[in-house]
Amino acid sequence: MTRIRVLVVDDAVVVRRMVADALAQDPAIEVVGSAANGRIALQKISQCAPDAVTLDIEMPELDGLQALREIRRLHPRLPVIMFSTLTERGAVKTLEALALGATDYVTKPANVGGVAEGMQRVREELVPKIKAICGRSHPAPAVPAHGRAEAAGASTSRVDVVAVGVSTGGPNALARIVPALPAAFPVPVLIVQHMPPLFTAILADRLDAQAALAVREARSGDPLRPGVVYLAPGGQHMVVRRHGVDAVVDLTQTPPENSCRPSVDVLFRSVAALFGPGALGVVLTGMGEDGTRGARAIRDAGGQVLAQDEATSVVWGMPGQVVRAGLADRVLPLDLIAPELVRRTGARAVTPGGPARVVQPPGSAERSASP
């Protein structure tokens, strides 16, 4: 198999060497060059023809964001993975990079605790992303005919909650879906995006500024309201529970699942248990299989599951696993998911500007208007 050719771009020589050495230890990857700033990187891309680029954000002469704009202009399909610090500034810059077309990102600590630890982080976090994005992961079982498993006939069940799981490529996917939902969207939306703390709060703020719906980073005790989007905070699982006759958010720090916290499986199991056939799960682009077991729980409870298709996914890992397991009611390109959510929830059922309704799980008292 032809090795994946990677260009490493970082202004710190110790980081360049550490990343290059760690990548070179994997037999599937070949480091074809390195660069100390964006200007040199643009030259090296033309010379080395890499399959992927790792790009630091903070660099002299031409920083990561400026370089990314040029890379996207000259090489629109070249995968670019940003290196970001776990700081508020790093989070803001990373989300800006993703909006400019970066493929994904990895975080690095402000002070790497030694070269060995740094190389281990590269092997655990960067190598799998490069392989997945460049399509060199281990082959998966064959997908059913036509590349999707679509149930015969769409469900007509009432939808009481939408739960979304997403990872690699998620911020841009969410930026296409959430702003496309109408202000009158009649049910709450719960989202797990694999991201660290700080990043999720900034992502929620960015989506809130773009959308007709209210988007917030979830807090324990938040009552679920129609037309509100709740984003799980980085580092915490998000579940829903009954509080009296209402449904509310709860945040926990139980162990990670699928090496993730927040985990899509945790959220999906929770909405399946509380809302049963009223749960609608959506699995979007992302690495791994987080969401598959949760999707099965939703289907077993009588709910519905949508999955993003392969052509529009940055990585068809999470949705692909759901499709292969035969759990997707429909498999849709990204731009058709918001219209499908509107259709399945009957979004016109709520008058714009009307009173918010308290969301109550099945079996509780009828919904009532909030004061």
The pLDDT, as a whole number, for residue 84 is 87
Average pLDDT over all residues of the chain: 89
DSSP string, 73-129: HH-TT--EEEEEESSHHHHHHHHHHHHTT--EEEEE-SS-S-HHHHHHHIIIIIHHH
Q: Is 246 among the residues known to form the active site?
A: no
Q: Is 290 among the residues known to form the active site?
A: yes
Are domains 4-133 and 145-349 of this chain identical in fold? yes
Dist. CA 254–CA 153, nearest whole Å: 38
Q: Compute the chain's Rg from CA coordinates.
A: 21
Whole-prediction pTM value?
Answer: 0.89
CATH code given to domain 145-349: 3.40.50.180
List pLDDT tens digits, range 109-141.
655 556 777 788 888 899 999 999 998 544 344
Count of residues making up the chain: 371
DSSP-derived 3-state class of residue 67: helix
Place of tokens 């879906």: 177
List pLDDT tens digits, range 236-246.
999 999 999 89
CATH code given to domain 4-133: 3.40.50.2300
**Which entry of 104, 290, 309, 329 is annotated as an active-site residue?**
290
Question: For residue 370, what pLDDT band results from cuts at 50, 70 and 90?
Answer: very low
The ranges assigned to domains in the chain are 4-133, 145-349
**Which entry of 26, 194, 309, 329 is annotated as an active-site residue?**
194
